[in-house]
Every structure is written in structure tokens, then in C-alpha cells.
Amino acid sequence: MPSEPLSQKEIEDRLRELPGWAFENDRIIRTYRLGTHFAASALVSHIASVQEELNHHSDLTLGYNTVRLSVNSHDAGGVVTETDFALAERVESLAPAHGAS
């Protein structure tokens, strides 16, 4: 997966395809809301398995009924790359089955 920094325009273009995601402090971020704390913890576990598979890891924050992801590419110097969006797209594809919004 290319780890070249994406331009601001490229990031904005990609975010248009990912409702709920935003660019903040050189990271892409998303907060999911779940029905229960246990559902939120299950989503964290599922995301962690995908992150291990991709070898790309976000900062995951588990709240009462929320899961917050914040990610960029350390190996590229702490900027947003295609790999971050690959992770975001994988999480977007698995989140609905958890009842996440």
C-alpha cells in the first residue's frame, strides 16, 4: 500500500465518500455511536482484528456507548495516506452489523 502523503484536496475528495469521517490535526477521525457499552466494546474488538490484519492501527477510544477512531500513518511521518483510508473503508463496511451509526 502506497504510504505517500495525500494532498489536502485528495483528503477532501476521499472524505466526501466517507460520511461521518473528518480531518483533524493531520489525522482522519470518526466517532461511532452504539446501543450499549457492550456493543461498543465488541466493535472495538472487531476493529482491532482488522487493524492487525492490515498492520495499520488507529487510536481507539471506547466510551460509554461510543467508539472513536483517530488515525494517520506513522511510517509516513504522521500524515494521512491511502492506508488510513483503506482502514476507514474496512471499518465503515463492518460497523453497520454492530448497529453502529
Max alpha carbon distance in the chain (Å)?
A: 38
Is position 73 an interface residue for ligand H2B (rule: CB under 6 A)? yes
Considering the complex, state which of residue 56 and residue 98 has its C-beta at the smaller distance from ligand H2B.
56
C-alpha cell read off for 61: 477510544
Considering the complex, state which of residue 55 and residue 64 has its C-beta at the smaller distance from ligand H2B.
55
CB of 34 to ligand H2B, least distance (A): 23
Considering the complex, state which of residue 22 and residue 101 has its C-beta at the smaller distance from ligand H2B.
22
Among positive and negative, which fits the CA dihedral 24, 5, 53, 12?
positive
Instruction: Please check whether residue 101 is in contact with residue 33, taking contact to mean a CB–CB distance below 8 angstroms.
Output: yes
Within residues 11-40, the interface with ligand H2B by CB under 6 A covers none
One-letter amino acid identity for 56? Answer: H
Class of residue 46 by CB neighbours under 10 A (exposed 0-12, middle 13-18, buried 19+): middle
Within residues 51-70, the interface with ligand H2B by CB under 6 A covers 55-57
Give the one residue of 9, 19, 75, 97 binding ligand H2B; rule: CB under 6 A: 75
One-letter amino acid identity for 46? Answer: H
The residues binding ligand H2B (CB under 6 A) are 55-57, 71, 73-75
